[in-house]
């Protein structure tokens, strides 16, 4: 395989090395290399990372910027069957399906470790085509990462992923499903997907029981992400179902009311959503909360106020996660002062508080945050970040703290907290200006 490269460059490369070099290219660059080199063309049949989306297929983008004659063709399709008929029969959809089918047919059928397919947004994709691609990949020896990202426009066009395919994928470690539902879920009953360690379910049309049944077949799961699953009401997992789970992220599941996850090895928990969730049990080990392994937690509201007040009282974080070392709290803005925390964070060393629209709470008493500090006797680092549209705004005032004035005497222990440079101003990625107060402990 390396003879052609050697003839042109004067350097002879073994075939395995050519294939190794090829595997580090993006899929688009790898395909271009295969078009100009027989060595890379042979390697292309074993290319390990198939990333199939509109960015990969440059020429399909041109169909969105059609010349007048092509626009007339699209108008004729619309007149023939209406807008729904156009979404299912336009040239973009047909071109995408044909291109993916061509790649799948010409691949040798071995060596694929990662497969990601993301059809064009807003268009209907024939379920038979998705079934065909999924079945071909799941039968691949050595497949590690499978990502199916769909965005159905109407519920009656929802694709149902055949869970039975997972039984033949004995090497798959990571599974991402988006914009679909489960099919043949009963086929997983009594089975164990022992190689699956990471699952991301996004915008899935699945309910509480379906999620529980699916996850009960994943005893080796270590990393779980649930995002925008708007039919879930309760997430409940007993210790025996997820004995190895280490990381849990729940993001913007609007109908979710309760989280109960007694995973004995859970170390990291993140929740993004409204400050109404009830965490009745979390990371509590098998029977005793003192055995909690959770060391890091992030709680964030998207556009609702009051997350700091909610976290300080109703969540009862010192009770459900008593061994926390790092805690990050993010709120859109606050409508009431932060009340006293129920309990103590005995092991908390890092506290990060972020208020993203600080200008909307000019009456908020930032001194009330002392309740969080008082509840954290081992605190080493405290960061307060405030975002506001104008860095010169004087509607929010943070009184500067001198190192000596913030030292506290508690029994025989003395704690000194010093500001690192005092309040500073910076600009975030979205253009908003941040004022950051960083405090660190020194002995």
CB atoms within 10 A of CB 68: 6
What is the average pLDDT across 103-127? 86
Q: What is the pLDDT of residues 364-375, one digit of tens each?
A: 998 999 999 999
pLDDT at residue 41, rounded to an integer = 73
Beta strands in 223-277 (DSSP E): 223-227, 234-237, 247-251, 258-261, 268-272
d(CA 377, CA 439): 14
What is the average pLDDT across 99-114? 85
Decide which of 190 and 349 is more confident: 349
Quick check: 59 pLDDT over 70?
no
d(CA 145, CA 114): 5
> What average pLDDT does the structure give for the chain?
80
- Six token digits for residue 387: 């975002």
Type and span of the H or E element at 139 = none
d(CA 42, CA 19): 9
pLDDT grade for 407, boundaries at 50, 70 and 90: very low
Which are the contacts of 154, defined by CB distance < 8 A and separation ≥ 6? none
Q: What is the pLDDT of residues 169-218, one digit of tens each?
A: 999 999 999 999 999 999 998 889 999 999 999 999 999 999 999 999 99
pLDDT grade for 75, boundaries at 50, 70 and 90: low
d(CA 336, CA 307): 10
d(CA 356, CA 197): 34
Q: Residue 258's beta-bridge partner residues?
A: 234, 278
Q: What is the pLDDT of residues 380-392, one digit of tens each?
A: 999 999 987 755 5
- Give the residue among 270, 343, 337 at the shortest CA–CA distance from 308: 337
What is the average pLDDT across 35-55? 80
Most confidently predicted of 19-28, 68-77, 218-227: 218-227
Residue 442 three-state SS: strand
d(CA 323, CA 57): 49
Place of tokens 């336009």: 90
Type and span of the H or E element at 341 = none
Q: What is the pLDDT of residues 302-335, one digit of tens each?
A: 888 999 999 988 888 888 888 999 999 999 999 9
pLDDT at residue 425, rounded to an integer = 53
Quick check: 71 pLDDT over 60?
no
d(CA 120, CA 88): 12
Which are the contacts of 75, defined by CB distance < 8 A and separation ≥ 6? none
Judge residue 23's burial from the number of C-beta atoms within 10 Å of its C-beta, 0-12 exposed, 13-18 middle, 19 or more buried. middle
Buried-exposed string 99-135: b where 16+ CB fall within 10 A, e elsewhere:
ebeebbeebeeebbbbbbbbbbeebbbebebbbebbe
pLDDT at residue 417, rounded to an integer = 42
pLDDT at residue 56, rounded to an integer = 82
Residue 59 three-state SS: helix
Least confident of 167-171, 236-240, 243-247: 236-240
pLDDT at residue 404, rounded to an integer = 41
Residue 141 vs residues 110, 193, 194, 261, 276: alpha-carbon distances, Å = 7, 15, 15, 33, 45
pLDDT grade for 110, boundaries at 50, 70 and 90: confident
pLDDT grade for 231, boundaries at 50, 70 and 90: very high
Buried-exposed string 377-389: b where 16+ CB fall within 10 A, e elsewhere:
eebbebbbbbbbe
Residue 208 vs residues 219, 264, 372: alpha-carbon distances, Å = 18, 21, 34
Enumerate helices (H) and strands (E) in the chain, giving the number of each: 12, 21
DSSP readout, 299-316?
A: EE-SS-S-HHHHHHTTT-
DSSP readout, 89-126?
A: HSHHHHHHHHHHHHHHHHS-S----EEEE-PPTTS---
């Amino acid at each position: 395989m390396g003879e052609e490269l050697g003839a042109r460059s004067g350097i002879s490369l073994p075939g395995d090395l050519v294939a190794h070099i090829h595997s580090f290219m993006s899929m688009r660059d790898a395909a271009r290399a295969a078009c100009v080199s027989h060595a890379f063309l042979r390697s292309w049949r074993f290319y390990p990372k198939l990333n199939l989306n509109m960015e990969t297929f440059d020429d399909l983008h041109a169909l969105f910027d059609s010349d007048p004659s092509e626009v007339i063709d699209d108008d004729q399709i619309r007149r023939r069957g209406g807008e729904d008929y156009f979404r299912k029969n336009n040239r973009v959809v047909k071109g995408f399906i044909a291109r993916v089918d061509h790649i799948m047919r010409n691949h040798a059928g071995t060596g694929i470790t990662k497969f990601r397919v993301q059809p064009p947004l807003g268009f209907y994709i024939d379920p038979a085509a998705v079934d065909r691609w999924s079945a071909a990949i799941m039968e691949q020896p050595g497949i590690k990462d499978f990502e199916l990202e769909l965005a159905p426009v109407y519920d009656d066009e929802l694709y149902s992923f055949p869970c039975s395919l997972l039984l033949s994928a004995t090497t798959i470690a990571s599974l991402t499903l988006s914009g679909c539902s489960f099919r043949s879920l009963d086929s997983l009953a009594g089975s164990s997907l022992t190689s699956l360690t990471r699952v991301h379910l996004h915008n899935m049309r699945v309910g509480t029981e379906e999620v529980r049944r699916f996850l009960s077949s994943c005893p080796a799961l270590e990393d779980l992400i649930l995002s925008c699953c708007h039919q879930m009401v309760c997430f409940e997992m007993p210790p025996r179902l997820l004995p190895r789970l280490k990381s849990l992220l729940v993001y913007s599941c609007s109908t979710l009311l309760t989280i109960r996850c007694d995973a004995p090895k859970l170390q990291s928990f993140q929740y993004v959503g409204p400050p109404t969730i009830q965490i009745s049990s979390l990371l509590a080990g098998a029977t005793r909360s003192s055995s909690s392994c959770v060391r890091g937690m992030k709680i964030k509201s998207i556009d609702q106020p009051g997350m700091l007040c909610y976290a300080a009282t109703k969540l009862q974080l010192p009770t459900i996660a008593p061994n926390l070392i790092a805690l990050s709290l993010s709120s859109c803005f606050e409508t009431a002062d932060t009340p006293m925390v129920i309990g103590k964070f005995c092991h908390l060393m890092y506290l990060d508080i972020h208020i993203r629209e600080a200008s909307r709470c000019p009456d908020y008493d930032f001194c009330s945050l002392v309740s969080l500090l008082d509840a954290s006797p081992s605190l080493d680092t405290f960061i307060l970040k405030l975002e506001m549209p104008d860095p010169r705004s004087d509607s929010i005032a943070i009184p500067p703290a001198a190192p000596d004035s913030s030292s506290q005497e508690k029994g025989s222990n003395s704690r000194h907290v010093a500001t690192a440079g005092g309040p500073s101003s910076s600009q975030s990625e979205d253009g908003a200006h941040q004022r950051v107060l960083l405090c660190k402990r020194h002995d």
